């Protein structure tokens, strides 16, 4: 599916006379079409609201005014700004101090989630080119000491080639695994777009191999799908609780 059809599908939740928050700077035209059909109140980034970022803080503005010197969030900046736009459009009375505290402390598991060091382990559910582009930027901003080992599994109906094209620039070694179910891509389908890498029978096996190969200065990146990250989380939790 293309962006226009995805936009129409996502806009299916719009409701008459209710705010409809759009954080995508290049909004598909179908979103505006659905908003008009349903009588929803569009709140678009760059039109009804916007934000700007510096190295140490950011500012947000909308019809209610401007908030300045906001703390940089732990979640992706566009996500934090879109959430703030939704909060302010909701009519809920939330103090500015509470907003600042929320921005500073909010986390989103599976979105550039650094779970350990030596080796550094990062979970990111990036599964399309847009998310992979963002992840690539975050990876490049990290201090580069050792190698980056990627444990990856994807769904075959995603843009595998476009997603991997971004990640290739930051990954040194690939550990490819199939995902279960009819939508799961095989490890071989991933390797077709990589040219090099290792194939495993399961996400758990790929994870174990990457961790065995990783040195203290390396980074192990688990990515490609919510399913991939969830599988690794399950393995870690099971072993912590004494399971296999």
Residue boundaries of the structural domains of the chain: 3-105, 113-240
Task: Give the Å distances, CA to CA, from 101 to 22, 94, 153, 222, 237.
Answer: 23, 11, 35, 29, 29
Range of lowest pLDDT (109-113, 128-132, 226-230, 235-239): 109-113
pTM over 0.85: no
On the question of pLDDT at 243 being above 70, the answer is no
Q: pLDDT tens across 205-225, in order?
A: 999 999 999 999 999 999 999
pLDDT tens, 6-30? 999 999 999 999 999 999 999 999 9
Strand partners, 176: 152, 199
Residue 1 has what pLDDT? 66
pLDDT, position 195: 82
pLDDT band at 88 (very low <50, low <70, confident <90, very high): very high
Region 129-135: what's the mean pLDDT?
93
Q: What is the dihedral of CA 222, 228, 231, 237, to 10 degrees?
A: 30
User: What is the rounded average pLDDT of the residues 30-58?
Assistant: 96
Q: What local confidence, expressed as pLDDT, does residue 109 receive? A: 82
The whole-angstrom separation of Cα 156 and Cα 160 is 7
Mean pLDDT of the chain: 94
CATH topology (fold) of 113-240:
3.90.190
Say how far apart CA 114 and CA 219 lie, in whole Å: 10
The fraction of the chain above a pLDDT of 90, given in percent, is 86
Residues 6+ apart with CB under 8 A from 105: 74
- Express each pLDDT in 184-198 by its tens digit: 999 999 999 998 899
Which residues 6+ apart lie within 8 Å of 216 measured at CB? 118, 119, 146
pLDDT of res. 146: 95
Look at residue 144 in the predicted model and tell me its pLDDT. 80
DSSP per residue over 122-178, as a string? EE----SHHHHHHHHHHHHHS---S-EEEEE--BTTS-HHHHHHHHTTT-SEEEE--
Q: How confident is the model at residue 200 (pLDDT cuts 50, 70, 90)?
A: very high
CATH, range 3-105 = 3.40.1190.10
Contact between residue 190 and residue 152 where contact means Cβ atoms under 8 Å apart: yes
The mean pLDDT value for 87-94 works out to 96
Is residue 74 over pLDDT 90? Answer: no
pLDDT tens per residue across span 150-174 = 999 999 999 999 999 999 999 999 9
């Amino acid at each position: 599916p293309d962006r226009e059809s995805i936009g129409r599908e996502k806009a299916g939740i719009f409701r008459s006379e209710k705010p409809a928050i759009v954080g995508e700077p290049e909004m598909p035209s179908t979103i505006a079409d659905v908003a008009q059909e349903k009588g929803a109140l569009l709140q678009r980034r760059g039109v009804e609201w916007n934000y700007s970022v510096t190295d140490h803080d950011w500012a947000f503005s909308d019809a209610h005014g401007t908030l300045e010197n906001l703390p940089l969030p732990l979640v992706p900046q566009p996500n934090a700004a879109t959430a703030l736009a939704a909060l302010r459009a909701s009519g809920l009375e939330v103090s500015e101090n509470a907003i600042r505290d929320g921005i500073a402390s909010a986390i989103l598991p599976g979105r550039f989630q650094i779970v350990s060091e030596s080796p550094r382990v990062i979970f990111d559910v990036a599964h399309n080119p847009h998310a992979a582009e963002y992840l690539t930027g975050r990876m490049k901003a990290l201090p580069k000491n050792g190698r980056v080992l990627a444990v990856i599994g994807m769904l075959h109906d995603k843009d595998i080639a476009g997603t991997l094209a971004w990640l290739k620039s930051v990954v040194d070694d690939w550990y490819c695994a199939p995902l279960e179910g009819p939508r799961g891509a095989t490890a071989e389908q991933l390797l077709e777009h990589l040219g090099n890498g290792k194939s495993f029978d399961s996400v758990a096996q790929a994870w174990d191999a990457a961790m065995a190969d990783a040195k203290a200065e390396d980074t192990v990146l688990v990515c490609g799908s919510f399913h991939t990250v969830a599988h690794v989380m399950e393995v870690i939790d099971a072993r912590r609780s004494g399971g296999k």
